[in-house]
């Protein structure tokens, strides 16, 4: 009997994981940590740190890093946001798509040339078209000299060595 209970609980746990991942949060954006991380304050006064899914912005010490943070702030700071959670990362941040009004903030940052599509995690193919258009039009970080256009994941990797 004991193994059946354990198996049943395990099945329940596995089935509940997608429900957690698909959770939606709503709150006022109260902090911008960097170009792809913000904090919302929900109606229960809980602060929820959110990593924008499928994109990666320059780190603060990289060229365009502070500008990417300013762009996210202009789009979301002190505004009501809806976060459609996809997962939780190793830092316990909610990873999701962020919407302010009718604006998909993740996509808008890519369109403005403030973010790369995070190829390792991106599932939304429309983000690639937005990035290609931003590159073609040399907007945002795509206007930088070639030597300064280092994807953040490569920049972080080079710093770890």
- What DSSP assignment string belongs to 84-134? EEEEE-TTS-EEEEEEETTEEHHHHHHHTTS-EE-TTT---THHHHHHHHH
List, in sequence order, every residue forming a beta bridge with 28; answer none if it has no partner.
Answer: 41, 80
45 contact partners, CB below 8 Å, separation of at least 6? none
Asked if residue 6 is part of any domain, the answer here is no
- Count of domains for the chain: 1
Residue positions annotated with a catalytic role: 51, 59, 93
Domain boundaries, position 140: 20-160
The predicted pLDDT at position 150 comes to: 96
Q: Is the pLDDT of residue 139 over 70?
A: yes
Residue 52, H or E segment: strand 47-52
| Average pLDDT estimate for 121-129 | 96
Asked if residue 12 is part of any domain, the answer here is no
Asked if residue 11 is part of any domain, the answer here is no
* Two structure tokens written together for 87: 């997962």
| Average pLDDT estimate for 10-38 | 79
């Amino acid at each position: 009997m004991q193994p059946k209970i354990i198996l049943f609980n395990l099945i329940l746990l596995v089935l509940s994981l997608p429900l957690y991942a698909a959770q939606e949060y709503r709150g006022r954006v109260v902090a911008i940590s960097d170009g792809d991380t913000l904090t919302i304050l929900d109606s229960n006064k809980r602060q929820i740190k959110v990593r924008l899914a499928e994109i990666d912005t320059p780190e603060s010490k990289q060229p365009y890093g502070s500008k990417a943070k300013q762009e996210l702030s202009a789009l979301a700071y002190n505004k009501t946001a809806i976060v459609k959670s996809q997962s939780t990362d190793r830092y316990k941040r909610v990873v999701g798509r962020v919407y302010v009004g009718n604006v998909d903030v993740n996509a808008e940052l890519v369109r403005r040339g403030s973010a790369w599509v995070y190829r390792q995690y991106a599932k939304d193919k429309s983000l690639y078209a937005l990035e290609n258009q931003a590159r073609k039009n040399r907007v945002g970080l795509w206007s930088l000299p070639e030597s300064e256009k280092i994807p953040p994941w490569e920049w972080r990797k080079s710093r770890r060595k």
